[in-house]
Amino acid sequence: MNTKTIRLTGAQLSFSVGAIQENKTKILNTLEESEKIQSDIVIFPELSITGYPPEDLLLRESFVGKNFAVLEEIAEFSGATSAIIGFVDRSLDENSTDNFERKISNAAAIVQNGDVKGIYHKCFLPNYSVFDEARYFSKGSKPADLFWYDDVAIGINICEDIWIDNGPADLQVNAGASIIVNINASPFDINKSNSRRKQVAEKAKKLNVPIIYLNMVGGQDELVFDGGSFVVNASGEIIYQASQFQEEVFSFDLEVQVKDIISDSKLTLNTKKDSIPELQSHKTFNELESMYEALKLGVADYVQKNNFQKVLVGLSGGIDSALTATIAVDALSSENVIGIAMPSKYNPDSSLEDAKNLATNLGIEFKIIEIEDTVETLRTLLKTTLEEPLAGVTDENIQSRIRGNIIMGLSNQLGAMVLSTGNKSEMAVGYSTLYGDLAGGFALLKDVYKTEVYKLSEFRNEESIVIPLNSISKEPSAELSDNQFDSDSLPDYELLDKILKMYIESDFSSEKIIASGIESNIVYDVLEKVDKNEYKRKQVAPGVKLTERAFGKDRRMPITNTYIRERYL
């Protein structure tokens, strides 16, 4: 068997949506460095010029045009080292399932020696979960296209294409590809990393060719791209695992088969004079490590890419605000996090002490603002206006909304973003206050169930005990009335989260959840709370997606929903 060694560079980098000039600079710098080691091909992620997902920016002609201009600039810069670059291309394919004309494609350009030498259009467009690619792009119609570097054929495809049985990768290998390069902007969720590696390894073994899986890294609104790129040999073994949740440029030599096929090659391989160091794979994170790293990266990029430096966190002494502040410090550093305690008469001294201890442990600025006088003024105003006593929930929400007003006022004055502290369990059942504790620019724990809040807190304390143990061990309470505990309104969180995961993540019916052994009245009450609080969730700030069904784009339920669930008691 005739073989040849090619040198590849994987550019697992963060490409911000809309930052076309900044993205161009990253690409050019990486291309220049790769030339120095005689790399044959530098591989960049999906839509690396525009960032992913650009969403309705794609409807702007000026945006798409700028993306073309930058690709031409990169091509003109290119030398003997070629590059595979994700960009938005024009499309002449008129196949459509509706009457909306789609004139662009999600594409990969191959540049070398001052010119664009080839282009591949993504053939399979994901239109589920957080993806809306069929809204914008035309499907590629040439899944079997190859790109010849001298006598080595490379199959290039994009993200979803690799997951399709008998799809582009299979067709490219059948046509003579000796290696598959798959470029991605694949968002993180807690089940995805292992699944990616397993499926790509199986495909490499089936097709008997090496596969390079190159992923983007960085946060974009609620999405986190976790990197974790890898290289699989023809036997299905992972020969290199890149880092997760951080940028990395890695280069390696790979021996590939030369096929006995005559081509009209437009691309060439370099003559390599020097060897390069052998790569050592990075460790992969377990579930809690991955969740924590995703939350850190998500909040850091959201804050910084939106031109904020500091964040504000309302510290109640409870576990949710403690974990939020801790992650913020780990992501942004202590000097960029400000803790605000706003006690009322219902907050025991121990809660304020827990908040103080947390702030001390984290080394953050800490302010205490007493709210009881303000609460009483508003109570009196409402009672006088209504000429009747206030209902319990009205009185409780006054406190939460005053806190929301105060912390948003501080945000305006200080130019600091507010991180809201609610978790997925609370948001699911509406155990939260609109314009109160839900106020903020980023809801960090939006996709973290309460039971996972405890696990993440204990996980973080294994490194160093920063979250007060009392915040973890005490019975959870909103502290908006005397002797109030979450258990007064909700099932135990272990049970609640079990129900919520079945209903939200798996779309189980009430009957199926009850059949799992949970008392029917509890199931019906929880599901009713979830359904009727959709209006609150629609008004919550974005937060890091961690699960397969995060609130937001992942789970698109109508607010006005007159579907009646029958109760079988």
Question: What positions carry a catalytic annotation?
Answer: 46, 122, 159
Please state whether the peptide bond connecting residue 53 to the residue before it is cis, i.e. omega within 30 degrees of 0. yes
The values of phi and psi at residue 200, to 5°, are -70, -40
Q: How far is CA 225 from CA 88, 220, 239, 362, 541, in A?
A: 19, 8, 22, 27, 19
Element (H, E) at 299: helix 287-305
Q: Of 508, 504, 495, 484, whose CA–CA distance to 546 is shortest?
A: 504
Q: If you count DSSP H runs as helices and E runs as strands, how many of each does the chain have, helices first?
A: 17, 19
Residues 6+ apart with CB under 8 A from 494: 451
- Distance from C-alpha of 536 to C-alpha of 559, rounded to nearest angstrom: 9
- Distance from C-alpha of 129 to C-alpha of 139, rounded to nearest angstrom: 19
- Distance from C-alpha of 28 to C-alpha of 287, rounded to nearest angstrom: 35
Token pair 């978790």: residue: 423
CB environment 115-136: b (16+ within 10 A), e (fewer): ebbbbbbbbbbeeeebebbbeb
8 Å CB contact between 138 and 176: no
- Distance from C-alpha of 154 to C-alpha of 460, rounded to nearest angstrom: 44
8 Å CB contact between 362 and 329: yes
Q: Output the six-digit token pair for 498.
A: 């079990």
The values of phi and psi at residue 105, to 5°, are -135, 150
The pairing of strands 248-257 and 3-12 is antiparallel
Q: Of 477, 240, 436, 232, whose CA–CA distance to 347 is shortest?
A: 477
The strand order across the sheet containing 337-341 reads 365-368, 337-341, 311-314, 417-420, 442-443
Token pair 């000039």: residue: 21
